A and B are shown apart, each in its own frame.
Chain A
Amino acid sequence: GAVVSQHPSWVICKSGTSVKIECRSLDFQATTMFWYRQFPKQSLMLMATSNEGSKATYEQGVEKDKFLINHASLTLSTLTVTSAHPEDSSFYICSARDHASSYNSPLHFGNGTRLTVT
Chain B
Amino acid sequence: AQTVTQSQPEMSVQEAETVTLSCTYDTSENNYYLFWYKQPPSRQMILVIRQEAYKQQNATENRFSVNFQKAAKSFSLKISDSQLGDTAMYFCAFIGVTGYSTLTFGKGTMLLVPP
Interface of A with B (CB < 8 Å)? Answer: 34, 38, 41-44, 46, 49, 91, 93, 95, 103-104, 106-107, 109, 111-112
Interface of B with A (CB < 8 Å)? Answer: 32-33, 35, 42-45, 47, 50, 91, 95, 97, 99, 101-103, 105-108, 110
Pairwise interchain contact A103-B43, C-beta atoms closer than 8 A: no
Contact A107 B103, CB 8 Å, known A41-B110, A42-B108, A43-B108? yes
For this complex, 26 residue pairs linking A to B, each with C-beta atoms less than 8 Å apart, are A34-B102, A34-B103, A42-B108, A43-B91, A43-B106, A43-B108, A44-B45, A44-B91, A46-B103, A49-B102, A91-B43, A93-B43, A95-B45, A95-B103, A103-B95, A103-B99, A104-B32, A104-B95, A104-B97, A106-B47, A107-B103, A109-B44, A109-B45, A111-B42, A111-B43, A112-B44
Counted as pairs of residues, one from A and one from B, with CB atoms less than 8 Å apart, the total is: 42
**Chain B: interface secondary structure?**
loop
Pairs A-B, 9 closest by C-beta atoms? A109-B45, A104-B33, A43-B107, A43-B105, A106-B47, A112-B43, A44-B105, A43-B108, A104-B95
Q: Apart from A91-B43, A106-B50, what 4 extra A-B contacts exist at CB < 8 Å?
A: A43-B108, A93-B45, A103-B95, A106-B47
